Structure 1
Amino acid sequence: MTVRRPAPAGLPADLYGKRRRDRAIRVFDAVAQTRFRWTELVNRRAPAGRVDDRRLALTVAERRVEAHDTDVISLSLVAPDGRELPGWRPGAHLDLELPSGRLRQYSLCGDPADRRSYRIAVRRIPDGGGGSLEVHEALPVGARVTVRGPRNAFPFVPPGYGSDTARVRFVAGGIGITPILPMMRMADRLGVDWSMIYTGRGRDAIPFLDEVERFGDRVVVRTDDAHGLPTAADLLGDLRPGTALYCCGPVPMTAAVAAGVRDVPEVELHSERFSAPPVLDGRPFTVELARTGEIVEVPADRSALDRILAVRPDTAYSCRQGFCRTCRVRVLAGEVEHRDTVLTPDERAAGDMLVCVSRCGGDHLVLDL
């Protein structure tokens, strides 16, 4: 995606996620949706079922603290019999089935050349719905877990290998380093002209700092406690035309980056967010789970998936942004307001719905759940 130059928007007051609606965030949502529509076309051409239906039983082989404040741990996952695992490319993630039945997504942050193990990293979020706490507290070395994937909604395309750009700029914030690390390794191995800025609250809080700093002067580590909150100019640096920009981190940070690149022509912006987009122009409705008879209230500013997960945490989902199809369900009654762009007209006519983004066109839906 190439972002060109509308008028600039203001920057968020806090780049690390305070709940404040900002014009720049709305701009980023629009920019991101364009990127997602491109990804949907790519995914639609993939062989049916090759990724969505693949489930692997793995074992936690290693567990490490990756940030000095101990809030981030990494898990190395291997096959019990030591066999090779399915290959993946930088930007991919796994769906992790937790012992409670919750399903959570974590970026692969190891080396794609290592076919014997997958590495993921998880930041402890005390009020984040329990998934991160469960990983920290219930998955010791030796624990068995089931994963789905790998999937890739954030693919890295290096200059000279499918991209017409001349160089790459990486921007990562905190745990957003996880999909960026494999991209950095690939760019370095291919001899690509690249640079990076890694930002966070403090050196004690940002993970994989030793691995990042091994790349030397290609990388700038910038922390809030030493330098203050970064502006878009701080994050982008000497951004020139012909640059591919890969950004991952808190939504306000990625929004600031998206606003900043609009003043630079011929820049490709590739970004991944770790949270669902806000619901815009929503109306409240109810969802009935046909198999149990439970009634779920969906507020105007929440998705149907959010409320369904509150009563059925094992409900399958992945992207939460309407392009991967994992949360597809059959509608038995009610009118659907489709907000995805990946379901075909025939699938919609047959009653399919993606509950992560689509809503009820009336007051009540009955779902085959």
Structure 2
Amino acid sequence: MKKKLFFTGLIVMFALSAIGHFGHWDMTAQFIISAIAIVFVAGFLGKATESVAHYAGQRLGGFLNATFGNAAELIIAIFLVKEGLFDMVKASITGSIIGNLLLVLGLSFLLGGLKYKVQTYNIKLAEHNGSLMILAIVALFVPAVFIKMEKFSIDEDKLLSIAVACILIACYLLWLVFSMITHKDMLADEVMNADHGEEPSWSKLTSIIMLVVATVMVAFVSEWLVHTLDTFTHKFGLSELFVGAFVIAIVGNAAEHSAAIMLAMKNKIGAAVEIAIGSSLQIALFVAPVLILVSILFNHNSFMDIVFTPIELTAIGVSVFIAKSVNKDGSTNWYEGVLLLMLYAILGFAFYLV
């Protein structure tokens, strides 16, 4: 019954979003409808990836959830880059990183911890995640300092941004080789590999087809949502920083929200952590660098550099600090989830007032 209601809502909201876009409805109405629609399609994406994960295994499944969960954010960001809205793209990258580290992980720890007193996962994985998170913030911090303090020219700025982007992409790809191939057994989690006797929603072939369909739907609704952002931002007097860091990030993170929380409440906290932290690392080490390279392809005269504002770097830095602190021992409880959510609320109020 619940599945039937969900898919009915999915079809209705997707259709309304399409009608609103092509029918040139009021921009505010279009924004609200598209935002609701993208939550539904992101949820559909989450269900499809969870079904694929049943056949691929929990570790690979967590990676797939993070990857396809980021599809909405990546597609939205590409359309924003195409429109030249580089500040909003950087804000959405910031919001995605802190949203996954604080909101998604916090809700997973809280709701999973209310059901299970203590949840544990591979401590080696926690240590490596911590190191990668530190690398991510350092990689964003260094260019900002050098480019601003040394007053680099546009060409030097472009060269450094491209170099750092390529290095981060290489680092992320090597991490996949390390974690998925050469040291797969060391980072495995018994709880994650346990059989909970759950049946997948669809067959293997149907799951893959659903994954493709969901990704295509995300692409369409993302474009319709981006089309409304400029008008919506000006009408309500919101800054691009707040819209990018919180509105777009929360909407785009819908797939990770649902998948990670459901897994945490099934005592699969390792898979939930893989989705939340893995998604943040993917954004910082892969998606952001790819967007920098894409911006150069779209327009050779104007490009998105890797320089983030002090506010954005501060938000990412404090998020990484507390996330690494609560994850270092490989165990979680509901109160650690509360700490993450409280910091997210503090940042939300601060960003709103910018």
User: What's the TM-score bracket when you normalise by the shorter of the two chains?
Assistant: under 0.3
| Higher normalized helix content (fraction of residues) | 2
The structure with higher relative contact order (CA 8 Å, sep 6+) is: 2
Which protein shows a greater Rg?
1
TM-score, normalized by length of structure 2?
0.27
TM-score, normalized by length of structure 1?
0.26
| Higher normalized strand content (fraction of residues) | 1
